[in-house]
């Protein structure tokens, strides 16, 4: 090789290269296609040395390069092999011999030829050169390893090269395929060794950096790909599983539906955020896991709440008045109060203010009044019964961590209403109880308080809900039992029981038309006479309201419906005579509760939550030592009032016609039966005293008299409460004479309907003497007989005397 390259300024054919370079020491195949290039190769092949000069075109796009288009520095090569390819092109295998500088172009007709000079450089290995060599080899190793474009042997080929120039050329030659040409050209043109090594090191460094970047990008892309692929794969599997489990509907579409709903609902920001978070959680869960069921359930609740739905209020008091009258008979004072309340709201346009509480016995129309208010305002209506509620969670909901957790009743009610401003009836607020599970009253307080209910928090829903637009109405049977913090915020409106006349009117005007249409009957199908209704009231019901009356009438309607459908009779007539065929035997006896005057039994009147009732008080006298025995689960106050009566009697034995030392010989047992009645107040004082006196004196008590009043040690009769309810109850029980404390005269005259006052004899009393005079059967010396009889009787047996009426 040395002799071939030693020649100077020889002329040789030139093969212009496009897009590649040939370095010394390099074996490479070149495809030759251009006419002139093929000529040049043929020319070279004709000589024994088969030498060519190759040099790169400066611009690969030029087809017919001239002298200016060729780089000055190229390489002298020997053609080792030539293969003719189909289509006229040839492939040659060349070996790079030495760098060549083109001195001059010599023009030939059909190919290019150049005069050139070989460039040889002394290979001096300085420490710096050695260090660079080592660096380059390492770089090249990394390049091969990470680049993965060159076979691993390429490294073995270079590690043993000791000449720095050769090392650089061999490595550069291998890079040819990838690295941009102009950089490599700079290696080719760098004759001083140091310079050549440095420029190669730089190229390799850059190339490694690119490789590293590429690798990192690839990694990221691959990871991304893997993740998407994995998710896709899992989703497909999930779909398949759902299908297998028969959960046909696509989970994705469910998620989409939820998303869509969140958008449409325009939730408050915190609710929307919460919803979206839960939707994302749900999306990531397999559909069948328990947790997914919980989340889905939660989302359904959350998205079903009327966050923005609201009905327009119809604040028209005239219309409201009409509706209240349409729906209810009587109740004038109550309607008045409700209308005032609505008018105030109309004027102030504010929802803040006290909450109406309708107080009264069952069946007097509390619920139906609240419904009418909703109708008048054109609002939705919901009712939640608080009776027996003792767990705070019933109001405020359970946390979602509990199995089967649900929102509280308030939120449930709102979902049911479907608007955020319904009329919300909280029934029986006096029946709330508190225990270790928390106090429902305090949760309710938060819901009702206008100052804080704009963000009511339910444990289940977790995000606050605005209750400020809800119109709450509450009901209670007994205002005294409403927890006081709640009571404090309420405006009480009392409803009392109805008189018989009122009940008849209600039945005829309201209950019957409603029941007929409920049962699909025509008014012509059924005719219930007024008298029959009165009988139903008297003999089949005993109540302050009209609930049972409605129930009995409904029974008649059901029976009628059957007959009408059977086609047997198109008009059913119900009168007193055939009432029993519809309702069976009467449940109560109307008229005197007990038909016979009895010794030791007096009738008390009690105001109860269901509107008042009469209760008999029984007294038995037994041999003994003067003990006063009280049974029937009496409250403290009632016991004390029995004691007071007892003491009064002891102080007045003579006047009352009772043995003076009765208290040394007999025990007295006072019993109040009828467990369902409250026995708490002092108002049975006079009744107990009367019954004791009757038992001791043997004078019977008139069976058509009922009484009420507190008694003092001196026998004075003090006023009591609940006059109207008590008198109505006595009337229902068929009592003719009612004894009331004189101081209650005003209440009676104000509250009692005229019809009642006409039917009953009311005697106002202020001393027990007056009570005894009115209540005890006059005349006859029962005492002696009675006491004799009593002493012969075994202890504990009741003594009664019967006297014809
Ligand atoms: P409450 O809620 O007080 O227990 P409801 O409102 O349920 O009583 O009343 C029971 C039934 O009696 C209802 O059908 C109601 O419409 C009817 N009712 C009660 N009072 C009247 C009235 N004054 N006029 C017309 N219907 C009445």
**Res 800: pLDDT:** 41
Measured in angstroms, how far is the CA atom of residue 502 from the centroid of ligand 1?
Answer: 12
- Alpha helices, H only, 567-665: 579-583, 636-651, 653-656, 662-665
Q: What's the CA gap between 728 and 497, in Å, rounded?
A: 7
CA-CA distance, 496 to 331, in Å (whole number)? 9
Contact 671, 620 (CB under 8 A): yes
CA 364 to ligand 1 center in whole angstroms: 5
Q: How far apart are CA 133 and CA 164, in angstroms?
A: 7
Cβ-contact 24, 166 below 8 angstroms: yes
- The span from the CA of 6 to the CA of 775, in Å, is 158
Nearest atom in ligand 1 to 475's CA: 2
Q: How far is the CA of 507 from the centre of ligand 1 (A)?
A: 10
Which are the contacts of 268, defined by CB distance < 8 A and separation ≥ 6?
307, 463, 466
* Among protein residues, the one whose CA lies closest to atom 5 of ligand 1: 365
pTM higher than 0.85 for the full model? Answer: no
Res 174: pLDDT:
82
Mean pLDDT along residues 361-366: 91
Report d(CA 346, CA 594) in Å as an integer. 54
Task: Compute CA distances 33 → 15, 16, 17, 88, 98, whole Å.
Answer: 11, 11, 11, 7, 24
Q: What atom in ligand 1 is closest to the CA of residue 361?
A: 3
Q: Averaged over 384-391, what is the pLDDT? A: 84
What number is the average pLDDT over the span 222-251?
Answer: 73
> 366 C-alpha vs ligand 1 centroid, how far in Å?
6
Residue 630 C-alpha to ligand 1 middle, in angstroms?
Answer: 39
Which of 330, 331, 361, 368 has the most ligand 1 atoms within 8 A of CB, as the residue to mutate? 368
User: Can you tell me which atom of ligand 1 is nearest the CA of 547?
Assistant: 10
Q: d(Cα 495, Cα 178) in Å, to the nearest integer? A: 100
Q: What is the mean pLDDT of residues 598-620?
A: 85
Question: CB under 8 Å to 600, separation ≥6 — which residues?
Answer: 618, 619, 620, 621, 691, 692, 694, 695, 701, 798, 799, 800
Whose CA is closest to atom 25 on ligand 1?
Answer: 328
Mean pLDDT of 437-444: 80
Segment 381-401 shows an average pLDDT of 87
pLDDT at 792: 43
Q: What is the mean pLDDT of residues 163-191?
A: 79
Nearest to 444 by CA among 420, 413, 399, 417: 413
pLDDT tens, position by position, 37-72: 999 999 999 998 999 999 998 888 888 888 889 999
Q: Which two tokens stand for residue 710?
A: 């507190």
Ligand 1 lining (C-beta closer than 6 Å): 328-331, 362-368, 506, 510, 545-547, 550
What pLDDT does residue 6 have?
47
Place of tokens 């030392």: 661
317 CA to middle of ligand 1, Å?
22
Q: Decide: 605 and 730 in contact? Cβ < 8 Å.
A: yes
Residue 790's pLDDT is 43
Catalogue the active-site residues. 683, 726
Residue 499 vs residues 50, 657, 736: alpha-carbon distances, Å: 136, 40, 15
- Confidence class of residue 586 from pLDDT cuts 50, 70 and 90? confident
Distance 712 CA to ligand 1 centre (A): 40
pLDDT of residue 563: 83
Q: Look at the chain and count its residues.
A: 805
**Per-position b or e across 711-744, b if 16+ CB within 10 A of its CB:** bbeebebbbbebbbbbbbbbbbbbbbbbbbbbeb
Indicate the pLDDT class of residue 306, thresholds 50, 70 and 90.
Answer: very high
Report the separation in Å between the CA atom of 574 and the middle of ligand 1, taken as the mean of its atom positions: 23
Per-residue model confidence (pLDDT) at position 250: 56
Taking the C-alpha atoms of residue 689 and residue 709, their distance in angstroms, rounded to an integer, is 11
Partners of 573 in the β-ladder:
527
Q: What is the pLDDT of residue 480?
A: 83
Whether the predicted pLDDT of 591 surpasses 80: no
Query: Of all protein residues, whose CA lies closest to atom 6 belonging to ligand 1?
Result: 365
Residue 805, pLDDT score: 33
Euclidean distance between CA atoms 37 and 174, whole angstroms? 24
Give the single-character DSSP code of 611: S
Residues 77, 27: contact at Cβ < 8 Å?
A: no
Atom of ligand 1 at shortest range from CA of 331: 23
In the predicted model, is pLDDT for residue 783 greater than 70?
A: no
Atom of ligand 1 nearest to the CA of 328: 24
Q: What is the pLDDT of residues 21-32, one digit of tens each?
A: 899 988 889 999
Cβ atoms of 626 and 664 within 8 Å: the answer is yes
Q: Report which ligand 1 atom has the smallest distance to the Cα of 362.
A: 4
State residue 352's pLDDT score: 64
Helix axes 317-327, 366-377, angle to 10 degrees: 140
- Side-by-side strand order, sheet with 381-385: 381-385, 423-427, 471-476, 355-359, 490-494
User: Mean per-residue pLDDT for 564-588?
Assistant: 84
Lowest mean pLDDT among 269-283, 477-491, 582-596, 722-736: 582-596
Per the prediction, the chain carries an average pLDDT of 84
Token duo for residue 165? 């120039």
Per-residue DSSP letters for 677-720?
A: S---SSTTHHHHHHHHHHHHH-PPBPTTEEE--EE-TT-BEE--
The answer on pLDDT for 451 being more than 60 is yes
Task: Please report, rounded to a whole number, the percentage of residues in the chain having pLDDT higher than 70.
Answer: 90
Ligand 1 binding pocket mutation candidate from 326, 331, 334, 364 (most atoms within 8 A of CB): 364
Average pLDDT value for residue range 626-642: 86
Give nearest CA residue, ligand 1 atom 17: 365
How far away, in angstroms, is 636 Cα from ligand 1 center?
Answer: 36
Residue 592 has a pLDDT of 44
Q: What percent of the chain has pLDDT over 90?
A: 31
Compute how many other C-beta atoms are within 10 angstroms of the C-beta atom of residue 172.
Answer: 28
Contact residues for 47 (Cβ-Cβ < 8 A; gap 6+): none
Query: Which tokens is 391 given?
Result: 């767990």
Whose CA is closest to atom 19 on ligand 1?
365
**Residue 688's closest CA among 653, 645, 719?**
645
328 Cα: distance to centroid of ligand 1 (angstroms)? 8
Q: Is the pLDDT of residue 367 over 90?
A: yes
Q: Out of 360, 514, 545, 554, give the residue to mutate to test ligand 1, the one with the largest number of ligand atoms within 8 Å of its CB.
A: 545
Nearest CA to ligand 1 atom 26: 328
Given a cut of 90, whether residue 623 has pLDDT beyond it is no
State residue 595's pLDDT score. 63
Ligand 1 mean position, distance from CA 538 (Å)? 18
Note whether 387 and 431 are within 8 A (CB). yes
Q: Is the pLDDT of residue 702 over 60?
A: yes
Check pLDDT > 50 for residue 796: no
The 10s digit of each residue's pLDDT in 104-159 is 888 777 889 999 999 888 777 888 888 999 999 999 998 888 877 788 888 888 88
Q: Which atom of ligand 1 is nearest to the CA of 327?
A: 25
Ligand 1 mean position, distance from CA 368 (Å): 5
Q: Give the pairing of strands 737-741 and 761-765.
A: parallel
CA atoms within 13 A on the CB side of 300: 9
- Looking from the CA of residue 371, the nearest atom of ligand 1 is 6
| Ligand 1 atom, smallest distance to 360 CA | 3
Q: Torsion-angle region of residue 200: left (phi > 0), alpha (psi -120 to 50) or beta?
A: alpha
- CA quadruple 359, 360, 361, 362: dihedral, nearest 10: -60
Give the residue, 273 or 789, on which the prediction is more confident.
273
> SS3 for 633?
coil
275 Cα: distance to centroid of ligand 1 (angstroms): 42
Mean pLDDT computed over 88-101: 92
Pick the residue whose CA is nearest to atom 27 on ligand 1. 365
């Amino acid at each position: 090789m040395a002799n071939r390259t030693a020649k100077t300024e020889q002329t040789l054919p030139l093969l212009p290269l496009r897009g590649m370079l040939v370095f010394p020491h390099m074996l490479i195949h070149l495809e030759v296609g251009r006419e002139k290039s093929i000529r040049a190769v043929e020319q070279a092949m004709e000589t024994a040395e088969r030498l060519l000069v190759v040099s790169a075109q400066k611009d690969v796009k030029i087809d017919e390069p001239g002298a200016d288009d060729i780089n000055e520095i190229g390489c002298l090569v020997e053609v080792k092999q030539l293969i003719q390819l189909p289509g006229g092109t040839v492939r040659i295998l060349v070996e790079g011999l030495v760098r060549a500088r083109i001195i001059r172009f010599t023009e030939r007709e059909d190919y290019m030829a150049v005069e050139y000079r070989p460039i040889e450089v002394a290979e001096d290995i300085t420490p710096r050169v050695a260090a660079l060599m080592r660096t380059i080899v390492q770089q090249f190793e990394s390049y091969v390893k990470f680049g993965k474009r060159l076979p691993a042997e390429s490294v073995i080929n270079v590690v043993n090269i000791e000449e720095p120039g050769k090392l650089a050329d061999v490595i550069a030659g291998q890079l040819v395929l990838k690295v941009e040409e102009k950089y490599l050209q700079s290696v080719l043109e760098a004759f001083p060794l140091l310079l050549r090594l440095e420029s190669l090191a730089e190229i390799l460094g850059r190339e490694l950096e690119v490789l590293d970047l590429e690798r990192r990008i690839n990694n990221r892309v691959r990871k991304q790909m893997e993740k998407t692929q994995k998710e896709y794969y899992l989703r497909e599997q999930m779909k398949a599983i759902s299908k297998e489990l028969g959960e046909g509907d696509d989970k994705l579409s469910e998620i989409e539906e939820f998303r869509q709903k969140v958008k449409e609902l325009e939730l408050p920001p915190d609710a929307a955020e919460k919803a979206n978070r839960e939707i994302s959680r749900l999306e990531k869960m397999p559909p069948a896991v328990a947790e997914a069921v919980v989340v889905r359930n939660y989302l359904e609740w959350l998205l079903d709440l009327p966050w923005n739905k609201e009905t327009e209020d119809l604040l028209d008091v005239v219309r409201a008045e009409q509706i209240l009258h349409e729906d209810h008979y009587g109740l004038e004072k109550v309607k008045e109060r409700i209308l005032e309340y609505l008018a105030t709201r109309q004027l102030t346009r504010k929802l803040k203010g006290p909450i109406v509480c309708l107080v009264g016995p069952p069946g007097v129309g509390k619920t139906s009044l609240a419904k009418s208010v909703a109708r008048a305002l054109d609002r939705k209506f919901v009712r939640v019964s608080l009776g027996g509620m003792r767990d705070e969670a019933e109001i405020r909901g359970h946390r979602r961590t509990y199995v089967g957790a649900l929102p509280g009743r308030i939120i449930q009610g709102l979902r049911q209403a479907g608007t955020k401003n319904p009329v919300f009836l909280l029934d029986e607020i006096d029946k709330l109880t508190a225990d270790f599970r928390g106090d429902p009253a305090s949760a309710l307080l938060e819901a009702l308080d206008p100052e804080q209910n704009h963000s009511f928090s339910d444990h289940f829903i977790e995000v606050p809900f605005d209750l400020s637009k809800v119109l709450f109405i509450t009901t209670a049977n007994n205002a005294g039992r409403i927890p006081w913090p709640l009571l404090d915020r309420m405006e009480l409106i009392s409803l009392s029981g109805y008189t018989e006349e009122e009940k008849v009117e209600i039945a005829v005007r309201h209950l019957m038309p409603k029941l007929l249409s409920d049962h699909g009957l025509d008014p012509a199908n059924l005719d219930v006479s007024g008298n029959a209704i009165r009988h139903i009231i008297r003999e089949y019901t005993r109540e302050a309201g009209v609930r049972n009356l409605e129930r009995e009438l409904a029974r008649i309607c059901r029976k009628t419906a059957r007959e009408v459908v059977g086609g047997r009779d198109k008009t059913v007539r119900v009168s007193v005579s055939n009432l029993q065929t519809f309702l069976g035997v009467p449940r109560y006896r109307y008229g005197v509760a007990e038909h016979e005057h009895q010794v030791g039994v007096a009738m008390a009147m009690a105001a109860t939550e269901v509107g008042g009732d009469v209760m008999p008080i029984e007294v038995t006298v037994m041999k003994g030592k003067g003990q006063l025995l009280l049974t029937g689960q009496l409250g403290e106050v009632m016991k004390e009032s029995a004691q007071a009566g007892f003491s009064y009697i002891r102080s007045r034995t003579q006047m009352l016609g009772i043995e003076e030392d009765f208290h040394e010989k007999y025990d007295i047992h006072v019993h109040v039966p009828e467990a369902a009645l409250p026995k708490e107040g002092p108002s049975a004082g006079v009744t107990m005293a009367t019954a004791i006196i009757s038992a001791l004196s043997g004078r019977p008590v008139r069976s058509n008299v009922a009484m009420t009043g507190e008694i003092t040690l001196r026998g004075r009769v003090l006023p009591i409460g609940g006059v109207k309810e008590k008198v109505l109850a006595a009337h229902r029980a068929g009592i003719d004479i009612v004894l009331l404390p004189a101081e209650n005269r005003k209440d009676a005259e104000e509250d009692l309907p005229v019809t009642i006052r006409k039917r009953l004899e009311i005697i106002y009393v202020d001393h027990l003497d007056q009570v005894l005079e009115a209540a005890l059967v006059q005349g006859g010396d029962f005492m002696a007989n009675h006491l004799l009889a009593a002493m012969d009787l075994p202890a504990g047996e009741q003594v009664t005397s019967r006297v014809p009426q």
